[in-house]
Structure 1
């Protein structure tokens, strides 16, 4: 029983010392490389200014309006802004329009004599057994 307790004490001391030492050189290099990659994740194609990986579309739009005021196509600076509407930043209007179109299609199919198979499948219904 005496040997077991010494082994446990040595293991606990070794773990404590590793925590005090911090990261290894490889871990530091990997973290540094990841931070550098994240810092330059998005780049303006006109002025080559870099932005962090977590920058939102409204901030990119603010850059465009401040630095490139004569520009009308946002994708010339940032291709990831394709389809972005500054009047609808969260996409709620587009989502509501798509939902309304789906409801209109379902109403039209109902008037035509029942729903067609595509509208049923779009609604989440599965094909039954044959």
Structure 2
């Protein structure tokens, strides 16, 4: 059983925000908005911020594929709801499965190799 997060006292850490590599920010924007339902918060030549349901992802331009291909982030989410939404948007993704560590997870690899793990306690 995973420990539950402690109640916030209003101080200290408020959120974690992954900063992922993008080999092409326009392609990243298109994939995340069309297939994953994210919306742009900031679009610049050298930085991109996307958000969905309070989740924020940042992207920086990178010319080295091995960086993105060796990067991942974990997003706490309702996996069944996201699975239905992603597949309705045309994304081919395996359905969520319960892992031995007690999390129900679904994995998405973006066009540049970043692995997004969507999970929730089983």
Q: TM-score, normalised by structure 1?
A: 0.22
More strand as a share of residues = 2
For the pair shown, which has the larger CA radius of gyration, 1 or 2? 1
Q: Which has the higher contact order (CA 8 A, sep 6+)?
A: 2
